[in-house]
Amino acid sequence: MKSPWLSRLDFQLAYLAALTRQGLKPLSRWEGRLGPEALDLIRAHDLVLDTVERRTRIGRRRIEVLFARDRRYVDLYKRRFDGAPIRHTPDAVRLEGRLFGYPSCCVESFIREPYAANGLPPTDQEILFHWACAGCKTTPRLVEEYRRVHAECRRRLAAEAPAPRHPARVWAGAAGRIAASLALVAGTAGVAAADDPHWLPVADDVDSDYLSFAEEVLRGTDWWNSDTDQNLVLDGVQTAQLLYALIMSPPPGVTVEDNMMWGLEVCSVCGESVNMGFVRISHAQRGLTVDVPYIALHYLEHGCLSYDGDLHTGRVDLDTLKRILVPYDPAHLLDWYEMDTDGDYLADGEEQLAGTDMLVPDTDGDSVEDGVQYAEELLPIIGELPRTVQTDRPYMLEMQMDGVEQCEVCGITLNMGGVEVVNPIEGLSLYVPYVGLHTLAHGGYRYDGSYNNWRIYPVALKTMLTGDGTSHWLPVEGDTDGDGMTDAEELAMAMQPGDPDENGDGVPDGRALAMRLASRINALPEGPLPDQTYVIGYYALGFYTCFNCGEDINMGHYEVVDPVAGRMTTVPFYNLHFMEKGSFSTDREDIYSRLDPRTIAEVLGETTGVPAQPVEFAFWNAPNPFPASGTTTIVLALPAEAGPVDVAIFDARGRKVRDLFAGTMPERTARFLWDGRDAAGESVAAGVYLCKVQMGRVSLARKITLVK
525 lies in the same domain as 394: no
Residue 413 and residue 525 in one domain: no
Assess whether 11 and 140 both reside in one domain: yes
Q: For residue 365, what are the CA distances in angstroms to 12, 375, 505, 536, 643?
A: 40, 16, 43, 50, 63
Say which residues have a Cβ less than 8 Å from residue 341's Cβ, sequence separation at least 6.
Answer: 348, 358, 359
Structural domain includes residue 108: yes
pLDDT at residue 177, rounded to an integer: 29
- Look at residue 610 in the predicted model and tell me its pLDDT: 35
Q: Which DSSP letter does residue 689 get?
A: E
Q: Say how far residue 271 (Cα) sits from the centre of its chain.
A: 43
Q: Verify that 596 and 624 share a domain, yes or no.
A: no
Question: How far apart (Å, rounded) are the C-alpha atoms in residues 38 and 314?
Answer: 40
493 lies in the same domain as 634: no
| pLDDT over threshold 60, residue 176 | no
pLDDT of res. 178: 29
Give the other-Cβ count within 10 Å of 195's Cβ: 15
Mean of the per-residue pLDDT values of the chain: 83
Interval 36-51: pLDDT, tens? 888 888 888 889 999 9
Please list, in sequence order, all residues whose beta carbon lies within 8 angstroms of the beta carbon of residue 601, skipping any fewer than 6 positions away: 493, 513, 517, 607, 608
Residues 433 and 516 both lie in one domain: no
- pLDDT tens figures, 654-669: 788 999 888 887 666 6
Q: What is the three-class DSSP state of 482?
A: coil
Mean pLDDT for the stretch of residues 469-488: 86
CATH number, domain at 638? 2.60.40.1930
Mean pLDDT, to the nearest integer, of 24-39?
84
Residue 612 is given by DSSP the state P
Per the CB < 8 A criterion, the answer to whether 183 and 34 are in contact is no
- Helix 235-248 and helix 294-302, axial crossing angle in degrees, nearest 10: 130
Do the domain assignments include residue 50?
yes
Q: What is the DSSP string of 428-468?
A: EEEEEEHHHHHHHHTT-SEEEBSS-EEE--HHHHHHHHH--
Q: Are the C-beta atoms of residues 704 and 694 closer than 8 Å to each other?
A: no
Give mean pLDDT, residues 338-343: 87
pLDDT digits (tens, 9 = 90+) for 619-665: 667 677 788 788 888 877 766 566 788 889 988 777 889 998 888 87
β partners of residue 397: 420
- For residue range 248-305, what is the model confidence (pLDDT) as tens digits? 888 889 999 989 888 889 999 998 888 999 999 999 999 999 999 999 999 998 999 9
**pLDDT for 187 beyond 60:** no
462/338 same-domain check = yes
CA 511 → CA 354, 385, 545, distances in Å? 21, 29, 22
* Lowest-pLDDT choice from 42-51, 382-391, 495-504, 557-566: 495-504
Based on the domain organization, do 98 and 24 belong to the same domain?
Answer: yes
What is the distance between the alpha carbons of residues 652 and 689, in angstroms, rounded to a whole number? 6
In angstroms, the CA 246 to CA 16 distance is: 23
**35 Cβ neighbours under 8 A, 6+ residues apart:** none
What integer is the mean pLDDT of 574-581? 92
Q: What is the pLDDT of residue 105?
A: 86
pLDDT at 689: 86
pLDDT band at 1 (very low <50, low <70, confident <90, very high): very low
The two beta strands, 698-707 and 626-627, are parallel
**Cα-trace Rg, the chain:** 35
Kindly state whether residues 376 and 340 are assigned to the same domain. yes
Give the integer Cα–Cα distance in Å for 315 and 143.
Answer: 34
Rounded to an integer, what distance in angstroms lies between the CA atom of residue 258 and that of residue 168?
9
Instruction: Looking at the structure, tell me whether residues 10 and 157 fall in a common domain.
Output: yes
Q: Which has more confidence, 90 or 70?
A: 70
pLDDT score recorded for residue 60:
59
Domain membership of residue 287 (yes or no) is no
State the pLDDT confidence band at 212, using cuts at 50, 70 and 90.
very high
pLDDT of residue 609: 36
Model-level pTM? 0.57
Question: Judging by beta carbons within 10 Å of its beta carbon (0-12, 13-18, 19+), is residue 76 exposed, middle or buried?
Answer: middle
Whether residue 4 has pLDDT greater than 60: no
Q: Grade residue 385 by pLDDT with cuts at 50, 70 and 90.
A: very high
Per-residue pLDDT at 697 = 65
Q: Is residue 264 assigned to a domain? A: no
627 and 568, same structural domain? no
Same domain, yes or no, for 622 and 596?
no
Structural domains in the chain (count): 4
Q: What is the mean pLDDT of residues 308-334?
A: 93
**First vs last Cα of the chain: how many Å apart?**
91
**Structural domain of 522:** 487-604
* Angstrom distance (rounded) from CA 674 to CA 621: 10
pLDDT at 185 over 50: no
pLDDT confidence of residue 191: 33
What confidence tier does 618 reach under pLDDT thresholds 50, 70, 90?
low
